[in-house]
Amino acid sequence: MRTINVGLLGCGTVGSGVVKLFQEHPDLLDRRVGAKLRIRKVAVRSAPRVPVDAKLLTKEAMEVVRDPQIDIIVELIGGTDVAKALCLEAVANGKHLVTANKALLAEHGLEIYRAAAEKRVDLGFEASVCGAIPIIRSVKEGLVANRILSIMGIVNGTTNYILTKMTESSQAFASVLAEAQAKGYAEADPTLDVGGGDAAHKLQILASLAYGGYIRFSDIYIEGIQKIEAVDIAFARELGYRIKLLAIAKQEQGELEVRVHPTMIPEAHLLASVGGVYNAVHIRGDSCGSLMFSGRGAGQMPTASSVVADIVEIAHNIVFHRPSHASLLPTSAVGSEITLRPMERITSGYYLRVMAMDKPGVLSKVSGVLGEHNISIASMIQKGRDEAAAVPIVMLTHQAVEGDMRRALQKINALDVIAQETMCIRVEGVED
């Protein structure tokens, strides 16, 4: 039996999980690969969190990616500068590469995909999107016969936890975030999660694969959940909806929309029931219909499960002399870059919470502005009466064009009867 050697870069949370998997079922992995799969080197800056044979440890990551004995490099150090240099050097040295680094692929993927294609090496990145959920393989292989009509995903566990808690406890965003940080569910600096950047990284990778081209990360519209108030969650519930941070990609009249923002979805939608830190991706294909994948999107062993799946697949390719990069490289993304439909031209339903003085004629002013901008109201609630203060007027609209909505909101917010900026949340999933 031949031996396939793996070099691990980083042995933090996920790296330790990978080591544990190798230690826990070596025979199982060897049988599945058809070779002896061994971790040959582990590059670390500090002591690993699991027992690792001291002979394998090194501080010199560059030496690991250049080691002629190593077949597969597994990059788990994160970040985009050092990680990129190491990944490109590994590929230049003919190593197959596995990475869980979504930021690296989303922001510099084209360079890495092209380098891997040129050197004819495999690139595995299942762990970069939704942890344990085999969504990359499903899109690349299981759904390959489909034209993908839409992808809607809850791809960030931190924000899903926060929104679920806000829904269950009626607490404000800031207090739930503080609680999540205390429990270790949210980072000390939560910006990437709550601001939607992490979800956008994952969407860039998934949508580039699904739609057969490279999507520039900077073209993705990103809006986080920081402005969502407990009152909006309560109104959404009353109207039969839930608020989720959704990563959305859909093909509309030959154009692709790719966006991340808080979204109201009907409570009967499959995604509405995915709570806590769980992730889920809902895909509509022209042949397969609607499918939903759900599971743990982060954490040590769920993410390690996907990393090791990539290692095993690449090792299997080596053993059976399959041409490298035949199965794991996102060949579609190596091709052309995709121009996205500008956000101004997308259409969506909208939830509006207008904070208005409760005076005669207010409603006709607001609905007049909406009407002038081709926006039709589907339903409305006004709660309470307070002649001295602003009261919320909540509306759901029919499908409207984003540009019309933005212009209408500017006019509504400028009315003298409006006390604060109008809350606007897009509504999706009604047709699913």
What is the smallest separation between the CB atom of 18 and ligand HSE, expressed in angstroms?
16
Tell whether residue 164 is a contact of ligand HSE (CB under 6 A).
no
Size of the site for ligand HSE (CB under 6 A): 7
Residue 311: CB minimum distance to ligand HSE, A:
19
Q: Is 297 in the site for ligand HSE (CB under 6 A)?
A: yes
Among 193, 232, 313, 428, binds ligand HSE (CB under 6 A): 193
- The token pair at 65 is 């990616």
HSE toward the beta carbon, residue 326, CA cutoff 13 A: 9
| Piece of 151-159, 232-240, 375-383, 412-420 that binds ligand HSE (CB under 6 A) | 151-159
Stretch that binds ligand HSE, among 51-59, 153-161, 331-339, 375-383 (CB under 6 A): 153-161
Minimum CB distance to ligand HSE, residue 103 (Å): 9
In this complex, which beta carbon is closest to ligand HSE, that of residue 292 or of residue 319? 292
Q: List, in sequence order, the alpha helices (H) in 120-229.
A: 135-137, 157-169, 173-182, 191-194, 197-210
Closest residue by Cα to residue 197 from 173, 228, 221, 179? 221
Q: Work out how close the CB of 156 gets to ligand HSE at its nearest, in angstroms, rounded to a whole number.
A: 4
Does residue 250 carry a catalytic annotation?
no
Q: Which of 304, 299, 318 is nearest to 22 (CA)?
A: 304
* Residue of 102, 202, 244, 250 marked catalytic: 202
Residue closer to ligand HSE (CB basis): 15 or 349: 15
Give least dist CB 247 to ligand HSE, A.
11
Angle at which helix 26-33 crosses helix 13-24, to 10 degrees, equals 80
- List b or e across 70-84, with b for residues whose CB sees 16 or more CB atoms inside 10 angstroms: bbbbbbbbbeeeebb
When binding is defined by CB under 6 A, the residue of 16, 101, 150, 158 that contacts ligand HSE is 158
The residues in 66-105 that bind ligand HSE, with binding defined as CB under 6 A, are: none
At 32, list the tokens.
């599945």
Task: Note the Cα 62 to chain centre separation in Å.
Answer: 30
Task: By CB under 6 A, name the one of 156, 167, 324, 422 that touches ligand HSE.
Answer: 156
Smallest CA-to-CA distance from 103 within 219, 205, 210, 177 is with 205
What x-and-dash track marks residues 108-147 binding ligand HSE by CB under 6 A? ----------------------------------------
Ordered DSSP codes for 124-141: E-GGGSSTT--HHHIIII
* Contacts with 108 (C-beta within 8 Å, 6 or more apart), sequence order: 80, 84
Q: Which is nearer to ligand HSE, 112 or 180 (CB)?
A: 180
Give the span between the Cα atoms of 362 and 44, in whole angstroms. 63
Residue 212 CB, shortest distance to ligand HSE, in Å, is 24
DSSP 361: T
Residue 119, amino acid: K
State the residues that interact with ligand HSE by CB under 6 A.
156-158, 193, 198, 297-298
State the catalytic residues.
Answer: 202
